[in-house]
Amino acid sequence: MAEIVSLLLPFFGLILIGYIAAKATKQPAETLGWLNTFIIYAALPALFFKLVSRTPIEQLTRVDFIATDIAATYAVFILLFAIGRLLRGNSLADCTIQSFAGAYGNIGYLGPGLALLALGEGAAVPVALIICFENALHFVVAPALMAAAGDDKRSTGQLVADIVRKVALHPFILSTAAGFAVAALHIDQPLAFQRLVDYLAQAAAPCALFAMGVTLALRPLKRIPAEISYIVPAKLILHPIAVFIALTAVGGFEPVWIQAAVLLACLPTATNVFVIGQQYGVWQERASATILITTVFSVVTVSLWLIVIRSGLLPLQLFP
């Protein structure tokens, strides 16, 4: 337990510091813009490039791993969508945001720092692959479903062009693709360039965690959705269980890859869910509340998942 506390204290401590700083200074949300720009366009891309470019290429082509992880994530998504649509009678647009709230974790900001801290460098490649491919698919699914719901008024051509642009030009995906190219071509990176990448990568986790704390402080809890009763357990408990069962059922993955995938799956709802809701004017306040509530509860649930993983209680194989 002491080891878990030593892992999580700096992690959630940075979020708390950001939260307190935002409450104490009372600066407007716009002041966070340049820090978010640095994180999204410099620090995290440098981290992903570093992780991928220094990995043997054969480890980067595990299509089976990516397909299995995404299948488990979207199984949770579809389940929540069905509950919202069939049992609660919510609109297609509301169901979309609710489903993302239960299946889209804060893997970009929280994932790399926690996984590398808890599992070591062996978790680098699965973390980079999950973040890259899950984000790419989310960028496709969200506008496609909103278009089907009638909340996206663009023509089909404009919608497809915007999706392609967002996927192809996203900094996470570009940096991961560059890392793939360097690893595949065995390109020797100049020492000065490596040091620059290292400096940026080292800033990724602390800046991202601080920014997340500030973001939570600037989004007060105004409206708690009734759906929170099943979205929270779906995100923090069901999602990691589904990922674990799927990966162990397929088999053939290194234990640290399974552990990294489970750890990323148990993270709280991504702040991007609020951004998507805000973009389409759907479920905004309730998405913000869901992010805050899942983040608070994740202090306990992530701790429990780390105990299970680090103590060896997570079986490496469920099926013979």
Each residue's pLDDT tens digit, 278-293: 888 899 888 989 999 9
The mean-pLDDT minimum among 71-75, 162-166, 171-175, 192-196 falls in 162-166
pLDDT of residue 236 exceeding 70, the answer is yes
What mean pLDDT do residues 232-255 have? Answer: 95
Position 79 confidence tier, pLDDT thresholds 50, 70, 90: very high
Position 225 confidence tier, pLDDT thresholds 50, 70, 90: confident
Give the pLDDT confidence score for residue 320 in this predicted structure.
Answer: 57
What mean pLDDT do residues 87-105 have? Answer: 95
Name the residue with tokens 């994180």.
39
CA distance 42 to 39: 6
Between 169 and 80, residue with greater pLDDT? 80
Give the pLDDT confidence score for residue 319 in this predicted structure.
Answer: 61
Give the pLDDT confidence score for residue 199 in this predicted structure.
Answer: 96
Which residues are CB-neighbours of 290 under 8 A, at least 6 positions away? 101, 225, 228, 231, 232, 269, 273
- Cut 0.85: pTM above it: yes
Each residue's pLDDT tens digit, 209-223: 999 899 888 877 777
Each residue's pLDDT tens digit, 18-52: 999 999 998 888 888 999 999 999 999 999 899 88
The mean-pLDDT minimum among 31-35, 68-72, 193-197, 262-266 falls in 31-35
Mean pLDDT of the chain: 90
Give the pLDDT confidence score for residue 29 in this predicted structure.
Answer: 81
Angle between helices 124-149 and 156-169 (to 10 degrees): 170
Give the pLDDT confidence score for residue 232 in this predicted structure.
Answer: 96
Give the pLDDT confidence score for residue 127 in this predicted structure.
Answer: 93
Position 1 confidence tier, pLDDT thresholds 50, 70, 90: low
Give the pLDDT confidence score for residue 104 in this predicted structure.
Answer: 96
CA distance 291 to 136: 21
Position 162 confidence tier, pLDDT thresholds 50, 70, 90: confident
What mean pLDDT do residues 306-312 have? Answer: 88
What mean pLDDT do residues 233-253 have? Answer: 95
Reduce the secondary structure of the chain to three states and give it as a string.
CHHHHHHHHHHHHHHHHHHHHHHHHCCCHHHHHHHHHHHHHHHHHHHHHHHHHCCCHHHHCCHHHHHHHHHHHHHHHHHHHHHHHHHCCCCHHHHHHHHHHHHCECCCCCHHHHHHHHHCHHHHHHHHHHHHHHHHHHHHHHHHHHHHHCCCCCCHHHHHHHHHHHHHHCHHHHHHHHHHHHHHHCCCCCHHHHHHHHHHHHHHHHHHHHHHHHHHHCCCCCCCCCCHHHHHHHHHHHHHHHHHHHHHHHCCCCHHHHHHHHHHHCCCECCHHHHHHHHHCCCHHHHHHHHHHHHHHHHHHHHHHHHHHHCCCCCCCCCC
pLDDT of residue 151 exceeding 80, the answer is no
What mean pLDDT do residues 113-138 have? Answer: 90
